[in-house]
Amino acid sequence: MKRIAIACFLALAIVFSDCKKAKEDLQGGVITFSKGTVKIFDKTGKEKPVSVDTFLLPEDKIETGKDSYADLQLAEGVLVRIKENTSLVLKKIFVDSANGEVFTDFGLIKGKVFSKVDTKLSKTSKFTVSTPTSVASVRGTEFIVEETGKGTSTRVSNGAVEVTDADDPSKVAVADSGEGVSADGNDLKEAPLTDDELNELKSDAATVQSITEEQRARIQEILKDFQENKARILQGLEDQKQRNKDLIEGAKEENRKLLEDTKNAGKEEKEAIKKSAQEEKDKVKSSMDDAKKELENQRKSLKDQAAPK
């Protein structure tokens, strides 16, 4: 193994930060397969339903239980397996399949994640798995990162992975095929992989699942339905706003007339008019409250439509 500088890595991050999102690509990932206990939470901590075709968005968190795992596809040839007893946050995700650009940062809290980057990424791309003690970054490879709470192990079966100390960027090591780097927060230690470690990597590489044509078709239907529902709900919101505006204008005109009538009426008539005015105000307020509730329900419906299924 060899030590290398990290200047080029930082340069790539700076260049990529100026890139714009591709409209054609989902800025997230798609669950292609899951087994056992798998939970997904959005950035607010709300749990999402988990199924094949579920979209994972930036800042989503995924957790797996014992004897459980989930496969995730970010782009063609970019696959991830969140293995058992793992907690992972999708800190950053940018995908532009047309230009081969992928900008991903996974935050591995605990457990183990297998990554297969089986496509040539652009020079501006970056694929990293971050832990409290290290950052593993690649351009194209198959590797596992494991966080135990006492340190991090990065193991490579194909290609090469650059491992940087999380607290000291001057400490850098490269794990080539059949090699690994362990980080304990103080040092980076290099060692060849055992047969068991190599067999685990080969098994994950052979079985991790990508999107099938059937799944791809269902995803397109989900996106189509979302766009249609979004347009319908947005139009409903505009219609409701106009109804609210008309209601307010009508109430203003009614109150103006009541004030004019009050000026020209006797005491008893004034009391009757005031009572009538109060009843009208109460009626308008009730209508406005109902309108607000309807508007809030429509907004919630739009938010639910946007959430992954």
Residues 206 and 220 in one domain: no
Domain span holding position 140: 7-210
The domain boundary residue, chosen from 210, 242, 276: 210
> Is 66 part of any domain?
yes
Instruction: Establish how many alpha carbons lie within 13 A of residue 8's alpha carbon, considering only the half-sphere containing its beta carbon.
Output: 10
Residues 114 and 248 in one domain: no
Q: pLDDT tier at 197 (50, 70, 90 boundaries)?
A: very high
User: Is residue 177 predicted with pLDDT exceeding 60?
Assistant: yes
Q: Find the CATH number of the domain harbouring 113.
A: 2.60.120.1440
Residues 92 and 240 in one domain: no
> Is 98 part of any domain?
yes
- State the helix-helix crossing angle for 213-263 and 267-306, rounded to 10 degrees: 170
Residues 44 and 152 in one domain: yes
Residue 98: per-residue pLDDT = 66
Residue 20: per-residue pLDDT = 36
Residues 91 and 220 in one domain: no
Query: Which of 35-39, 171-175, 262-266, 284-288 is the least confident region?
Result: 262-266
Residues 184 and 228 in one domain: no
Residues 193 and 292 in one domain: no
| Number of domains, the chain | 2
The residues facing 92 across adjacent strands are: 105
Cβ contacts of 252 within 8 Å, gap of 6 or more: none
> Is 288 part of any domain?
yes
Instruction: Establish how many alpha carbons lie within 13 A of residue 285's alpha carbon, considering only the half-sphere containing its beta carbon.
Output: 6
Residue 13: per-residue pLDDT = 28
> Is 2 part of any domain?
no
Residue 136: exposed, middle, or buried by beta-carbon count in 10 A (0-12, 13-18, 19+)? buried
Residues 186 and 298 in one domain: no
Residues 189 and 223 in one domain: no
User: Is residue 173 predicted with pLDDT exceeding 90?
Assistant: yes
Residue 118: exposed, middle, or buried by beta-carbon count in 10 A (0-12, 13-18, 19+)? middle
Residues 277 and 175 in one domain: no
Q: Which residue has the higher pLDDT, 249 or 33?
A: 33
Query: Which of 96-110, 160-174, 221-235, 261-275 is the least confident region?
Result: 221-235
- In terms of average pLDDT, the best of 111-120, 239-248, 270-279 is 111-120
Residues 220 and 168 in one domain: no
Task: Report the Cα–Cα distance between both ends of the chain, in Å, rounded.
Answer: 45
> Is 189 part of any domain?
yes
- What is the per-residue pLDDT across 23-63, written as a single tens digit (0 to 9) for each? 344 457 889 899 999 999 998 999 988 888 788 888 999 99
> Is 153 part of any domain?
yes
- What is the per-residue pLDDT across 111-150, written as a single tens digit (0 to 9) for each? 999 999 877 777 778 889 999 999 998 877 899 999 999 9
Residues 136 and 186 in one domain: yes
- What is the per-residue pLDDT across 79-114, written as a single tens digit (0 to 9) for each? 899 999 999 999 988 777 666 677 889 999 999 999
Query: Which of 135-139, 262-266, 302-306 is the least confident region?
Result: 302-306
Compute the average pLDDT of residues 239-244. 73
> Is 127 part of any domain?
yes
> Is 275 part of any domain?
yes
The domain boundary residue, chosen from 210, 234, 257: 210
Residue 268: per-residue pLDDT = 66
The domain boundary residue, chosen from 183, 210, 237: 210
Residue 57: per-residue pLDDT = 85
